[in-house]
Chains A and B, each alone.
Chain A
Amino acid sequence: MSEPPPMKVLVYRHAAVTRITHWINVVALTLLLMSGLQIFNAHPALYWGQTSTFAEPWVSMTAVEKGGDMIGVTQIGSLRIETTGLLGYSGKPGMREPRGFPAWATAPGYRSLADGRHWHFFFAWLFVLNGLVYLSANILNGHILRDLLPTRDQLAPRQLWREVTDHARLRFAKGEEARGYNALQKLSYGGIVLIVLPLMVLTGLTMSPAVDAGQPWLPAVFGGRQSARTIHFLCAGLIVAFVLVHLAMVLLSGVWNNLRSMITGRYAIEVEGGVR
């Protein structure tokens, strides 16, 4: 007797609270990033410690003159890269201006620290409230413990290596395996949701002089306000990197199936022999 052909079944993958908070997060994080870059542009340099060592930032984006022309220079540690048009000096030809990140990446597009702050703090509130809803609901319903924390088996080096090579070959889980998250998914989703995003909130709060007066342990934990600002910036970079990989994976592993699962909750998996 030949084996029955694989059959597609829809499994209920994402609870409504996850789907709604996911899409609110898409909007909030996009605007937080763009307004954050606007705020960064007011002083496009980063430092470690409590104070700014103006003469030696560890990262800076500046416009400098070179042979009669202005160029954008990005400096990271002792590395200096020419980044004209993107970082340090950008804009339409003939209308270029000194600015950290270019207009298309900031909210609003023109330079306005005041407006950038309005956008940032509005969406910071939305992001925090949305995150609290997500966390409390998914801790209560067991989703985080059950689905986001890797099992001991999944963390075995051999298993992890197999997943890395599978991902590199774009071989995605099928059948029963696709019902849950694999270790790489758990580590990246869990790492972002439980570590990076909370770090973002805490380092953001540490930049507030009023919060620091009330909670002096915050600047102490992060090694000072300027360190907190640096960590805030680095975590933003991690989130951007996560989103890029996440979007690539969504596209490569079945864009419609993934989109449907984050809209209706239903995710299609192929089950051998139609076992349900």
Chain B
Amino acid sequence: MSAADTRRGWLKGAAAAAAGLWLTGCNKVNDNPRVQAALQSAEGLTRRAHRLLISRKALAQEFTEADIARDFRANGSISPSDDAYRALLETGFKDYRLVVDGLVDKPLSLTLAEVRALTSRTQITRHDCVEGWSSIGKWKGARLGPLLDLAGLKDTARYIVFHCADSLEMTLDGSGQYYESIDLIDAYHPQTILAYEMNGKVLPVAHGAPLRLRVERQLGYKHAKYVMRIEAVSDFAQIGRGKGGYWEDRGYEWYAGI
């Protein structure tokens, strides 16, 4: 080995060591709980700024039939393997019941036909995934606000939790079950619907059959698929790992307006 080779080897080693230190250093800073708490303070700031500056009734842009994407992507669960869900699917959701309970005056248990008979809304909207992509689709579904009024929310209700049929992660304690939550501002927003149709057809399994939440001013992971039960709660600390949703429990923001 020549001196130049040795020097080159040494330089390469030093560069690799520096890169290693840089990465470990950066990752250590990232993993520090106090750093994480400071970083996540931005979420509250964003949510408050949005609630202050954007009208609570402002509608997400709606598009025309011509804008509908032919390649609308489905991700997360696209074919749940949970036994209870498979059983419902095999019988065409004949035995499906949408349960509405929690802090309500009159708990409900509705068949799909009953859900379809509720006040509906059709909208062609843009679906924005947290990963960065967007697809436009047409959705028809029951408006959530009137449905909640049917059950009668108690004064103590502050959030609406959506319990889903799919386990995105197989766990022993059931914490891999998908769920989501929204506040009452979004719950009563006119575009917030429980969609049972997509692009003029029955909602496909990949997109959340039989019912999927559309909460148009937030990112895709808030749009819970395979909705089985809607629960009105005063807080969600006791549900899942306490952060208000499957992805929230895994580090994502509860407020997903950005």
Contacts and interface: CB of A to CB of B under 8 A. Distances in A.
A195 to B, nearest CB: 23
B252 A209 contact: no
B73 to A, nearest CB: 6
A224 to B, nearest CB: 8
Given A40-B132, A229-B132, A50 B67 contact: yes
A212 B134 CA distance: 13
A76 B144 CA distance: 44
Given A207-B258, A209-B60, A216-B61, A50 B134 contact: yes
Interface residues of A, number: 43
B132 A209 contact: no
B132 A50 contact: no
Using C-beta atoms within 8 Å of the partner chain, give the interface range for chain B: 35 or more
A121 B46 contact: yes
Contacts of A113: 130-131, 252
Given A107-B30, A210-B54, A43 B131 contact: yes
Contacts, number: 129
Interface string A82-121: 0000000000000000000001100111101111011101
24 contacts: A39-B132, A43-B131, A43-B133, A50-B136, A51-B67, A51-B136, A52-B133, A53-B71, A55-B71, A104-B22, A107-B26, A108-B27, A108-B30, A114-B250, A117-B130, A118-B39, A118-B42, A121-B42, A121-B43, A121-B258, A122-B41, A122-B42, A207-B258, A225-B126
A151 to B, nearest CB: 38
Given A43-B129, A108-B26, A209-B219, A119 B39 contact: yes
Interface of B: 19, 22-23, 26-27, 30-31, 36, 38-43, 45-46, 50, 53-55, 58-61, 63, 67, 69, 71, 73, 126, 128-136, 216-219, 247, 250-253, 257-258
A39 B251 CA distance: 14
Nearest to A40: B132
Contacts of B39: 118-119, 122
Nearest to B220: A209
B54 A118 contact: no
A214 B58 contact: yes
Given A107-B26, A209-B218, A212-B61, A125 B45 contact: yes
B59 to A, nearest CB: 6
Interface string A140-173: 0000000000000000000000000000000000
Contacts of A125: 42, 45-46
B55 A117 contact: no
Nearest to A115: B30
Interface string A113-141: 11101110110110000000000000000
Given A51-B135, A210-B218, 4 more contacts: A109-B26, A121-B42, A211-B54, A225-B128
Nearest to B248: A114
Contacts of B55: 214
Interface string A34-74: 00000110110101001111110000000000000000000
Contacts of B43: 118, 121
Nearest to A205: B258
Contacts of A124: 42
Contacts of B133: 43, 45, 47, 52, 54, 226
Contacts of A50: 63, 67, 126, 134, 136
A207 B54 contact: no
A190 B165 CA distance: 55
A219 B133 CA distance: 14
A121 B41 CA distance: 10
Contacts of A115: 30, 251
Given A210-B50, A210-B217, A214-B55, A52 B134 contact: yes
B185 to A, nearest CB: 11
B247 to A, nearest CB: 8
B51 to A, nearest CB: 9
B257 A42 contact: no
A131 to B, nearest CB: 16
Contacts of A43: 129, 131-133
A29 B67 CA distance: 36
A226 B58 CA distance: 21
Contact of B61 (A45, A107, A219): A219
A45 B131 CA distance: 10
A180 to B, nearest CB: 38
A241 interface: no
A181 B67 CA distance: 49
A114 B252 CA distance: 5
Contacts of A210: 50, 54, 217-218, 257-258
